[in-house]
Chains A and B, each alone.
Chain A
Amino acid sequence: EDKVVQSPLSLVVHEGDTVTLNCSYEVTNFRSLLWYKQEKKAPTFLFMLTSSGIEKKSGRLSSILDKKELFSILNITATQTGDSAVYLCAVDPSGGGADGLTFGKGTHLIIQP
């Protein structure tokens, strides 16, 4: 059975701190790993990672994939209260997202002012 495990499940930090969120996976087939940010409602897409060792970056957020060790990390630097959200990691096992994603339980991140 495909499995995606995120850690920690919750995290409380102060504004300005740097955080690292972890995602490990065990899937039969792997084509890509995705990170989403969920604030109350619909998850919004952050990154898609397909190749090991190549960092994806968007402002203060960055992510990297290690296909040998089967994990990914999401880094957020200089955190702001607007970064408070649930961060979801998902794996596309099918080779195209056509068969649905396998999600982890998410990391609930709270940024205190």
Chain B
Amino acid sequence: DGGITQSPKYLFRKEGQNVTLSCEQNLNHDAMYWYRQDPGQGLRLIYYSQIVNDFQKGDIAEGYSVSREKKESFPLTVTSAQKNPTAFYLCASSDLGRGVLKKTQYFGPGTRLLVL
């Protein structure tokens, strides 16, 4: 089955702790994205990557870090510098081939992060 998987489904973080959210895709997509969703809010872009070993900050990158060592994987680390990490985190991926529709972003099932 082709798709995007995120783990864990729920994650609890203690004060001062770094936690890492996993995102894997087997769609052979070039680009991957991380979004954060707060209750009653739309999605806000944290980081994105168009190619292996390269990534760019989105609108709310502070307190987060990412890596893109493999095309299929784009883990997100929520660091202790992120003071309000409780949110729903969504990973997405898209092709960068020719044609606008090919570039549509598809989403994983999400990880809900809660602070203890």
Contact = CB atoms under 8 A, between A and B. Distances in A.
Interface of A: 4, 6, 9, 31-32, 34, 36, 41-45, 48, 50, 88, 90, 92, 96-106
Query: Which residue among B31, B42, B110 has the maximum number of chain A CB atoms within 10 Å of its CB?
Result: B42
B33 A45 contact: no
B12 to A, nearest CB: 19
B43 interface: yes
A11 B103 CA distance: 31
Contact of A41 (B58, B100, B110): B110
Interface residues of B, number: 27
B40 interface: yes
Nearest to B50: A98
Contact of B90 (A6, A43, A98, A104): A43
B109 A42 contact: yes
A103 B90 CA distance: 13
Contacts of A34: 104-105
A93 to B, nearest CB: 11
Contact of B103 (A4, A44, A97, A106): A97
A36 B110 CA distance: 15
Given A42-B90, A101-B45, A103-B43, A50 B100 contact: yes
A97 B110 contact: no
Interface string B30-69: 0101010000111111001010000010100000000000
